[in-house]
Structure formats: structure tokens, C-alpha cells
């Protein structure tokens, strides 16, 4: 909490020059505003004695108004811009923070929730740092200057006319607290709605396929109603603020006319002083009326920052060691020693006593039934989950002592769920190596058996793939992901069940190409389809998190264990 509060303070401190200049200009604007009623007073006095001498003062009044307008605009530019720059910096901080987060973070903050906080909530913080700061400073300078000027004319009249302002401050403090709570609830409901929409729109094709339109619409209506109700709760408080501010200024004006008029009649103050006093009271009315708006902005900003604070203060469970250093010799050798692992929120062991020794350039096959721990092993090998210290070694060094950036560059992964940018095909291929030449993209596509498909597209490698690769088939998306991993040039290539959407012949061709390049790359193939691992130097069979069998394809068939049983079942399915 303190860390992220200091982050907001540090980002604001970087804008101290803009805030300082804006404050100075606002102070000048306040002084110019105070000069206007005083000039009116002098004009009235001249009109009472020597009317012609009031003409130069009229031009002074016009000049004051013009200069005041220019200074006010300049003060707003200086005070509004820092809010936008801080918003830009904080959004970059949020994005960088999210990139470092793991599974636990996204359980607490789903994608839709993160999007809501990084847009709507951050926008409220920007309003607080820009118009909110301006409103607060304008109120402080306006109140201080106008009160001093009023007191200099008549302390008694000032006390009578300002009394309603003091009383309303007590009510405002309560309203501000209530408004903060209700704004927090409103932002939370908006986040839930965004989270729901993100999931529903992403799966809209599936919803239509299952005729779930009515059910999903009912759920949307529920979330939409919750946002509406939360907004209505906020509107009720805001509806009190602005009439209250307008009422107090009207009461102050009424007191001024009542008591100030009597003072003029009784010659306690002059008519010129009364006009000046009325002008200064008008300067109080402006900040007072806008005070309701300022309170709303501050309350919204504080509520939004509390939500952003929870996002930014969530500690990443994968951190880089202080003494992290990549080994000088990096050839892709993998060793796993007595590895046991369970997720932080689950006591059940997902993997137990796993031992692997894969030489550089070798190919390892990992097979097993569903939920046997295959994907967890991938996440540990790539340090997407934190393995026990010394449990996973890459090129002889524990991966927790590798710099994270070097580790990511050294290991290329093709996950089960392929992610594609809404962009051109060649840019998706080059993701992670945007400087890769066209020849290299083509060579990788040929290895992944994708080049032939690409050449049938009208725009070839410049084809737009649509949102999340909508224009490509499942097999084409998987092969594109494999080609992208090859372009990555990591010395270790991990294929996590990424051949399920291609036919057996294409699968064998891809594996053969990878096998031909085995001297340049260490390959780990995780698959539920055993035909993908036939060429592997060693195959391990996982069952309930343990290695129950290991050996080559032929050795495991002769052993007549689980592997042989799975092989027989899959061959029968293919035959049928």
C-alpha cells in the first residue's frame, strides 16, 4: 500500500515544475480577480465626486478582465497536463506489472477487471490530479483572498455573510465520506461488468452454438442493473451537493443585501465599499459552487486509486535473483532432479519425484493421460511457475538463477492455446523477433508445414489473420505458433500438446523436420497423441504426477505397460 502510494507521489513529484508554475499563475489570477472589485469601488467613488476621472479606471477594468482570462487559461494548461502525463506513466507501470504476474494474480484480477482499472479507474485518477488539484487550489486561494478582502472592509458583515459557508462544511465532510464509499462500489460493479463482457464477447460463437443467448443476456442484465443501481446511489449524493452549494451562496448573498444594505443606510460603510464587498463575496461563491464538483472528483479519485493500489501492490511470485547471471555456455541441456511440486493454493502434489536428464540437441517426449501433470511440467521448465530451488537446471544452472529475460530468450514455447495478434501473418510469425528477415520467416513456415497454406492466401505473408487468428483454421494457428517458436531461435523448444489440430501425416512431417534440426535445438514434446513422440530419444509416461515408465518408443511397446496400452487404443481409434 505504502509502496504504491509513494509511486503516485513520485510520479506527481516529477511534475512539480508544472504544478508550481500552475499554482503561481493561479495565485496571480486570484490577485487579479481581487483587483476587479477594488477597481469597481474606485470607479463608484470617482463617479460620486468627479465622473470624468472614472473613464481611465474603466479601461483598467477591461484590461484586468483580458489579462485575467489569459492567465486563467495558462494556469489550467499547466495544471491539467500533469494529470495526463501521470496517467500515461501509471498505465505503463500497470502494463509492465501485469506482464510479470502469474496465475495467482489473474485469479484475483481477471482480464476484464484489469482492463477496467487500467482505463476507467485510471481516468478518475487523472481527473483528480488535473481538474481536482486545480479545484482545490482555486478554492484555497479564492477563499483566502476573498475573506481577507471582506474582513478589511467590514469584519462584522463578513462574519454574518460567511456563517452559512462554515455550517455547510460540516455537512460536506459527511457527504464526502459517503460519496467515496459509493464511488468505490460503482467502480467495482463497472469492473465486474467489464470482466463479464470480456468473457462473453470472447466466447460469443460458443454461446450461439449452444443457444445460450437468453441465459447470457439475463446474466448481462443482472450486471447492468448492478452498475445502474451503484450509479444511482452516487447520483443521490451528487444531487445533494450542487443544490447545497448553490443554496449557501444564495443565502450568503441574501445576508449581504440584508445586513450590508442596512449598513450602507446607517452609513456604517460606504456604497463603494458595499459594491466591493459584494464583488468579493461573488469570488467566494465561485469556488463554493464548484466545491461540490471538486469533492466528487476527489472522492472518485481516491476510490479509483484504492483499486489501482490493489492491482499494483500485488507481488509477483516470480522474481529475479539479485545475483542472476546466465551461464557462459548455453547449449540447451535440461536436468530435473527429484522434482515435486504443488500449487500454492492446493496441498495435493501435482508432480512427485520427477527426474529428467536431457542432453543438448536431444528430444524428449512426455505423454500421459489428461491431468497427469504434463502442462505443469512445462510451466516449471519455463519458470512460469516457481520450481523448488535446484529442482530444474538449464545448462547446469538452476533456472531461478537465470535472468528472466535471458531464460525467455533461451526457451521457446508453443502452448496449447495459441495466441495471435490482430495483425498481419508475417508480424505474428516475427513476434519476439521483429527484425527477422523474410527468408527466415519462410524457412520456419516450411518447417512447420505452413508455407504451402500461406501461398494459397491472396496476400501471402501479408494476410490479415483477424481477431485472434479468426481467419485461420485451428491447425494453421498451431503451425503458425510452431513456426514462430522456431524463429525465436531459442536453444530449447517446448511443444505443449500443440499438434492436436493437425492430421497425423502433417504431424509426422513436422516432427521429422524438427528431428532433422535436433543438433541445433533441444526439443521437449508434450502430447496426448503418442504419434507425436515416436521419434523422441526418450519418452516419459506420467500418471498422477509420477513417472511410471520411461524409454524409447520401441522399448515402451515391449514393456507392455501404460504406454503400450495407450498406443493400442489410439491406433484402434485411427483405424476406425
CB under 8 A, 24+ apart: contacts of 252-259: 252/161, 252/162, 252/164, 252/165, 252/281, 252/284, 252/285, 253/281, 253/285, 255/160, 255/161, 255/163, 255/164, 256/157, 256/161, 256/281, 259/157, 259/160, 259/161
What's the CA gap between 29 and 21, in Å, rounded? 12
Which whole number is the average pLDDT over 275-281?
A: 80
- State residue 503 phi and psi, 5-degree precision: -75, 165
Residue 508 DSSP code: H
90-123 tens-digit pLDDT: 888 888 888 777 777 777 787 777 888 888 888 8
Q: Residue 106 to residues 56, 85, 314, 317: CA-CA distances in angstroms?
A: 69, 27, 11, 12
Cα angle value 99/102/105 (rounded, 5°): 95
Inform me whether the pLDDT recorded for 43 exceeds 50.
yes
In contact, 488 and 431? CB cutoff 8 Å: no
Other Cβ atoms less than 10 A from the Cβ of 243: the count is 10
pLDDT category of residue 243 using cuts at 50, 70 and 90? confident
Give the count of beta carbons closer than 10 Å to the beta carbon of residue 402.
24
For residue 203, give Cα distances in angstroms to 191, 196, 197, 468.
Answer: 19, 11, 10, 12
Cβ pair 399, 383 in contact under 8 A = yes
- Percent of the chain at pLDDT above 90? 0
Name the pLDDT band for 3 (thresholds 50, 70, 90).
very low
Question: Cα–Cα distance between 126 and 370 in angstroms, integer?
Answer: 48
Strand 538-543 and strand 392-394: pairing?
Answer: unpaired
Q: Going by C-beta distance under 8 Å and a sequence separation of 6 or more, which residues neighbour residue 27?
A: 141
| Domains identified in the chain and CATH numbers | 2-312 (1.20.1560.10), 334-419+494-575 (3.40.50.300)
Q: Which pLDDT score, from 0 to 100, does residue 516 have?
A: 67
Which pLDDT score is estimated for 9? Answer: 63
Q: State the pairing for strand pair 546-551/397-398.
A: unpaired
**271-312 and 213-255 helices cross at what angle (nearest 10)?**
150
Instruction: Please say if the pLDDT value at position 334 is more than 70.
Output: yes
Angle at which helices 54-99 and 133-153 pack, to 10 degrees? 150
The Cα 91–Cα 55 span in angstroms is 55
Per-residue pLDDT at 230: 85
Note the pLDDT of residue 1: 44
What does each C-alpha distance from 74 to 23, 25, 71, 283, 290 come to in angstroms? 11, 7, 5, 20, 19
Q: What value does the mean pLDDT take over residues 351-361?
A: 87
Which residues are within 8 A (CB) of 119 and not within 5 positions of it... i.e. 6 or more apart? none
pLDDT at 260: 75
> What pLDDT is stored for residue 2 in this prediction?
47
In whole angstroms, how far apart are CA 200 and each of 60, 206, 416, 467, 469? 64, 9, 21, 15, 18
pLDDT digits (tens, 9 = 90+) for 123-172: 888 888 888 888 888 888 888 888 888 888 888 877 877 777 777 767 77
Torsion over CA: 434, 436, 438, 441 (sign): negative
Mean pLDDT of the chain: 80
Q: Residue ranges of the alpha helices (H) in 411-561?
A: 425-429, 438-447, 451-454, 474-487, 504-516, 553-559
Query: Among the listed ranges 356-370, 413-427, 537-551, which one has the minimum average pLDDT value?
Result: 413-427
Instruction: Match 479468426 to its residue by C-alpha cell.
Output: 470
349 secondary structure, DSSP code: -
Positive or negative: CA dihedral 24, 25, 26, 28: positive
- Model confidence, pTM: 0.68
401: pLDDT strictly greater than 70: yes
pLDDT score recorded for residue 558: 87
For 51-81, write each residue's pLDDT tens digit.
777 778 778 878 888 888 898 888 888 888 8
Ramachandran bin of 481, using left for φ above 0, alpha for ψ from -120 to 50, beta for the remaining angles: alpha
The residue whose grid cell reads 443585501 is: 257
Separation of alpha carbons 56 and 34, rounded Å:
19
440-495: per-residue pLDDT in tens? 888 888 888 888 888 888 888 888 877 767 778 777 888 888 888 888 777 888 88
CA atoms within 13 A on the CB side of 509: 12
pLDDT classification of 8: cutoffs 50, 70, 90: low
Q: pLDDT of 409-432, one tens digit each?
A: 888 888 877 777 777 888 888 887
190: pLDDT strictly greater than 70: yes
The candidate with the shortest Cα–Cα distance to 28, out of 82, 63, 72, 73, is 72
**501 pLDDT tier (thresholds 50, 70, 90):** low
> 392: which strand partners?
336
Amino acid at each position: 500500500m505504502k509502496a504504491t502510494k509513494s509511486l503516485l507521489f513520485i510520479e506527481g513529484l516529477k511534475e512539480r515544475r508544472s504544478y508550481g508554475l500552475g499554482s503561481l499563475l493561479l495565485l496571480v489570477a486570484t490577485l487579479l480577480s481581487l483587483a476587479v472589485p477594488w477597481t469597481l469601488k474606485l470607479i463608484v467613488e470617482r463617479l460620486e465626486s468627479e465622473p470624468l476621472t472614472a473613464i481611465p479606471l474603466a479601461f483598467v477594468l477591461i484590461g484586468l478582465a483580458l489579462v485575467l482570462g489569459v492567465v486563467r487559461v495558462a494556469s489550467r494548461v499547466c495544471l491539467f497536463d500533469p494529470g495526463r502525463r501521470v496517467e500515461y506513466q501509471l498505465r505503463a507501470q500497470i502494463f509492465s506489472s501485469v506482464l510479470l504476474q502469474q496465475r495467482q494474480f489473474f485469479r484475483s484480477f481477471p482480464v476484464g477487471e484489469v482492463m477496467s482499472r487500467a482505463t476507467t479507474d485510471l481516468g478518475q485518477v487523472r481527473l483528480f490530479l488535473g481538474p481536482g488539484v486545480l479545484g482545490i487550489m482555486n478554492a484555497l486561494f479564492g477563499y483566502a483572498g476573498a475573506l481577507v478582502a471582506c474582513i478589511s472592509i467590514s469584519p462584522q458583515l463578513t462574519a454574518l455573510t460567511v456563517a452559512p459557508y462554515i455550517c455547510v462544511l460540516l455537512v460536506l465532510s459527511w457527504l464526502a465520506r459517503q460519496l467515496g464509499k459509493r464511488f468505490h462500489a460503482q467502480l467495482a460493479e463497472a469492473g465486474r461488468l467489464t470482466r463479464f463482457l470480456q468473457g462473453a464477447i470472447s466466447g460469443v460463437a460458443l454461446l450461439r452454438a449452444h443457444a445460450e443467448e437468453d441465459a447470457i443476456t439475463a446474466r448481462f442484465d443482472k450486471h447492468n442493473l448492478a452498475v445502474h443501481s451503484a450509479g444511482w446511489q452516487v447520483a443521490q449524493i451528487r444531487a445533494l451537493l450542487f443544490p447545497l452549494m448553490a443554496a449557501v451562496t444564495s443565502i450568503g448573498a441574501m445576508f449581504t443585501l440584508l445586513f450590508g444594505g442596512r449598513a450602507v443606510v446607517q452609513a456604517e460603510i460606504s456604497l463603494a465599499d458595499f459594491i466591493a464587498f459584494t464583488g468579493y463575496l461573488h469570488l467566494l461563491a465561485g469556488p463554493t459552487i464548484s466545491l461540490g464538483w471538486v469533492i466528487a472528483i476527489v472522492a472518485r479519485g481516491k476510490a479509483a486509486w484504492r483499486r489501482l493500489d490493489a492491482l499494483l501492490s500485488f507481488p509477483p511470485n516470480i522474481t529475479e535473483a539479485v545475483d542472476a547471471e546466465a551461464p557462459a555456455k548455453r547449449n540447451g541441456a535440461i536436468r530435473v532432479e527429484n522434482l515435486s511440486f504443488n500449487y500454492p493454493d492446493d496441498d495435493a502434489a501435482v508432480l512427485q519425484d520427477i527426474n529428467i536428464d536431457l542432453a543438448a540437441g536431444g528430444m524428449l517426449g512426455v505423454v500421459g493421460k489428461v491431468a497427469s501433470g504434463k502442462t505443469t511440467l512445462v510451466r516449471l521448465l519455463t519458470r512460469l511457475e516457481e520450481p523448488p530451488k535446484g529442482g530444474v537446471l538449464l545448462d547446469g544452472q538452476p533456472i531461478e538463477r537465470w535472468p528472466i529475460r535471458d531464460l525467455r530468450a533461451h526457451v521457446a514455447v508453443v502452448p496449447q492455446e495459441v495466441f495471435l495478434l490482430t495483425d498481419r501473418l508475417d508480424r505474428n510469425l516475427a513476434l519476439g523477433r521483429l527484425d527477422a528477415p523474410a527468408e527466415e520467416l519462410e524457412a520456419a513456415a516450411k518447417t512447420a508445414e505452413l508455407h504451402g497454406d500461406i501461398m494459397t492466401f491472396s496476400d501471402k505473408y501479408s494476410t490479415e489473420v483477424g481477431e485472434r487468428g479468426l481467419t485461420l483454421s485451428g491447425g494453421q494457428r498451431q503451425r503458425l505458433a510452431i513456426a514462430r517458436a522456431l524463429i525465436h531461435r531459442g536453444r530449447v523448444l517446448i511443444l505443449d500438446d500443440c499438434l492436436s489440430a493437425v492430421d497425423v501425416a502433417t504431424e509426422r512431417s513436422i516432427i521429422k523436420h524438427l528431428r532433422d534440426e535436433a543438433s541445433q535445438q533441444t526439443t521437449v514434446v508434450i502430447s496426448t497423441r503418442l504419434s507425436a513422440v515416436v521419434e523422441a530419444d526418450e519418452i516419459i509416461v506420467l500418471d498422477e504426477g509420477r513417472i511410471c515408465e520411461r524409454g524409447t518408443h520401441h522399448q515402451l511397446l515391449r514393456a507392455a505397460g501404460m504406454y503400450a496400452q495407450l498406443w493400442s487404443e489410439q491406433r484402434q481409434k485411427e483405424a476406425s
